[in-house]
Amino acid sequence: MKKKIAILGSTGSIGKTLINILKKNKKNFEIVLLSVNKNIRELEKQVDLFNVKNLIIIDKKNYLKIKSKKKFKKTNIFNDFLSIDKIFKNKVDYVMSSISGIEGLRPTIQIIKHTKKIAIANKEAIICGWNIIKNELDKNKTEFIPVDSEHFSINYALKKINQSNVENIYLTASGGPLKDLPLSKFKSITIHDALKHPNWKMGKKISIDSATMMNKVFEIIEAHNIFDISYKKLKILIHPKSYVHAIIKFRDGMIKIIAHDTSMTIPIHNSIYCDDNKFLKTENLSIKKLNNLDLSKIDYKKFPLVKILLKQKNNNSLFETIIVAANDELVRNFLNKKIKFTDISEKLLNFINLKEFKKYKMIKPKNIESIENLNKYVRIKINKLSI
């Protein structure tokens, strides 16, 4: 029997990687739903490849464009995620949620009840709405798999392990394009400089987050939420080769090092084939990389945003939404040449320390609306203060 699959955000890098994995054994899969914002050219290729019968196209202009085409006459095409409940009659086998940004929160939560297993690559959903997601997962008995390389590695390493034995978990960061740049030159960093990631080909937003090290701050928050691990046990190590993704030190003296090639194919492949013993051919063990891991502690002067973690409380709160929304807007302003690179860190740290936001550290998100409303307010507020 074919596995039924749904992909939210099918034309992004994660979605396209998953499509490439599925097409190698196309006869074993039926794609029930694809969602996209604007990239309908890529979407059409995916629809043709898998004969997909349900599409969600968020951008109104592109939705109308596809809807008007004769070849899509027998396809169910929707313009919003409210249609998710109409599409699914029974639970599908697997959902990949890879819509980028806070916009991915609502559809991620909404689709959980319609799937046996969900792989979530939307970090904002895990950061801002984890307690809501966890409730939905438990209520609907839906299996969750993290697919970010660091969290997949931790998940892999902790299988059948009593977490009380965990002393520390180290997530690695490449250091991005600015690791070796002298601090004295940080004020003159250009957009081009910040986007030149040495190891990963990524979108502009996540590339800037990698350059400021904010992406690693987000990954630590995700790890805290997913694995229910105290922030005191979560550490960051700089590892320029991006070969090792997680290191776990246990209280019994043992250490696990999880390494794999710098390819998202590995965690995504394993998320869909984890019960099927379908193996993946990869590069041979890199002795050269293992002999030169070049691990080091993070430089707080170059990457001051990591200090955010020093004051994080061990509870899910609306404060994480403030961090995400404010950072999003500052990165957008940098990419639009309205602020300098160093302004991202300086303005964000000042903003989240405003007196009016302190109360949110103790307020748990009750529903999606509380997150969405705060997200809108923060974006308006920081733009008024930062430009």
- DSSP letters spanning 140-201: HT-EEEE-SHHHHHHHHHTTT--GGGEEEEEEEE--GGGTTS-GGGGGG--HHHHH--SS--
Residue 1, judged by CB atoms within 10 A of its CB (0-12, 13-18, 19+), counts as exposed
Say which residues have a Cβ less than 8 Å from residue 37's Cβ, sequence separation at least 6.
57, 58, 59, 62, 99
At residue 387, the pLDDT reads 63
- Alpha helix locations (H) across 2-50? 13-22, 40-50
The CATH number of the structural domain formed by 3-146 is 3.40.50.720
CB 247, CB 237: distance < 8 Å: yes
Question: What is the C-alpha radius of gyration for the chain, rounded to an integer number of angstroms?
Answer: 21
At residue 202, the pLDDT reads 77
At residue 16, the pLDDT reads 96
Mean pLDDT by 10 residues, the chain (387 residues): 95 95 94 96 96 96 93 93 93 96 95 98 96 97 96 94 94 93 94 86 88 97 97 96 95 96 93 82 90 94 96 94 98 96 97 96 95 97 84
**C-alpha triplet 58, 61, 65: angle, nearest 5°:** 105
At residue 1, the pLDDT reads 83
Which sequence spans correspond to the domains of the chain? 3-146, 151-262+292-386
Residue 246 backbone dihedrals phi, psi, to 5 degrees: -155, 145
- Measure the CA–CA gap between 274 and 271, rounded to whole angstroms: 6
Q: Does the predicted TM-score (pTM) go above 0.85?
A: yes
Tell me which fold the domain 151-262+292-386 belongs to.
Rna Polymerase Sigma Factor; Chain: A (1.10.1740)
